[in-house]
């Protein structure tokens, strides 16, 4: 049976661990809020009503594709395309192609930065392996101007960061919604977690300070995982409604 990402692959290692996915979510939540096309996510009303659930579902859907068979993954990607097409028809205008690429680029960046934060640095070949998976997703969606390799993607990613991000009223409202739905303590943890994985451009626009109190705790957390303390930490940091979903993110057979 052919899988979209082969069993044992690096991409499965990255997306088979709940803590890595949570950092991917944290980083994406920051960058989503700055994207010039974030108004599309406000159009349906789903994002401000449930920002944590909406963004988390995007990340979980990506995980589903990675762990599916080739056939199932392609169907899931086609479903994403169909849903967006429906939203476009409803609004009477098209989502910019660069906005689709931005989301794809986020998944590439945060997959790598989150794994490197929690596990180890990746080689250029390993980064290419990660990129290749999301490149295939983009090609299936019919996206244009997607670089064919990780190295050629880097300047394109930087161009997107410079051209497609802006701090707006949507940004501030979305972060206010994060705080409302998470509570003050969990919101503070989200902000500190975002600092560890976002690119410099995102940190600048969000006016993040360079003080990173959580960074020294990462190695301690990794040690705690060996005796099961990570479960307790995840339960403390997440609202009860998402705990069961988080528990299901860990994959035993990668």
In a domain, 254, yes or no: no
Would the pLDDT of 92 be above 90?
no
Query: What pLDDT is attached to residue 237?
Result: 66
Range of the domain at 23: 10-247
In a domain, 3, yes or no: no
Would the pLDDT of 93 be above 70?
yes
Query: What pLDDT is attached to residue 107?
Result: 94
Would the pLDDT of 232 be above 70?
no
In a domain, 2, yes or no: no
Query: Which segment, 35-39, 145-149, 237-241, is predicted with the most confidence on average?
Result: 145-149
- One-letter-per-residue 3-state SS of the chain: CCECCCCCCHHHHHHCCHHHHHHHHHHHHHHHHHECCCHHHHHCCHHHHCHHHHHHHHHHHHHHHHCCEHHHHHHHHHHHHHHHHHHHHHHCCCCCHHHHHHHHHHHHHHHHHHHHHHCCCCCHHHHHHHHHHHHHHHHHCCCCCCCCCHHHHHHHHHHHHHHCECCCHHHHHHHHHHHHHHCHHHHHHHHHHHHCCCCHHHHHHCCCCCCCCCCCHHHHHHHHHCCCHHHHHHHHHCCHHHHHHHHCCCCCCC
In a domain, 60, yes or no: yes
Query: What pLDDT is attached to residue 253?
Result: 64
pLDDT digits (tens, 9 = 90+) for 47-75: 667 777 777 777 778 888 999 999 999 99
Would the pLDDT of 44 be above 70?
no
Report the range of poorest mean pLDDT among 147-151, 164-168, 231-235. 231-235
In a domain, 22, yes or no: yes
In a domain, 170, yes or no: yes
In a domain, 5, yes or no: no
In a domain, 253, yes or no: no
The domain tally of the chain equals 1
């Amino acid at each position: 049976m052919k899988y979209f990402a082969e069993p044992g692959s690096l991409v499965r290692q990255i997306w088979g661990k709940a803590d890595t996915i949570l950092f991917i979510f944290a980083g994406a939540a920051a960058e989503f809020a700055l994207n010039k096309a974030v108004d599309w996510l406000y159009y349906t009303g789903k994002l401000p009503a449930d920002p944590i659930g909406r963004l988390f579902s995007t990340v979980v859907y990506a995980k589903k594709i990675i762990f599916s068979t080739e056939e199932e993954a392609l169907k899931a990607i086609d479903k994403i395309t169909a849903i967006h097409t429906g939203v476009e028809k409803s609004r009477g205008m098209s989502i910019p192609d660069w906005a689709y690429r931005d989301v794809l680029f986020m998944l590439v960046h945060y997959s790598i930065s989150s794994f490197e934060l929690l596990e180890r640095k990746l080689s250029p070949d390993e980064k290419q392996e990660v990129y290749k998976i999301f490149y295939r997703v983009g090609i299936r969606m019919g996206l244009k101007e997607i670089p064919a390799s990780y190295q050629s993607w880097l300047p394109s990613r930087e161009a997107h960061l410079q051209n497609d991000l802006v701090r707006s009223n949507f940004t501030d409202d979305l972060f206010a919604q994060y705080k409302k739905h998470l509570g003050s303590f969990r919101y503070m943890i989200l902000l500190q977690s975002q600092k560890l994985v976002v690119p410099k451009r995102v940190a600048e626009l969000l006016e993040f300070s360079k003080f990173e109190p959580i960074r020294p705790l990462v190695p301690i957390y990794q040690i705690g995982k060996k005796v099961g303390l990570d479960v307790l930490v995840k339960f403390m940091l997440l609202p009860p409604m998402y705990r069961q979903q988080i528990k299901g993110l860990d994959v035993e057979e990668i």
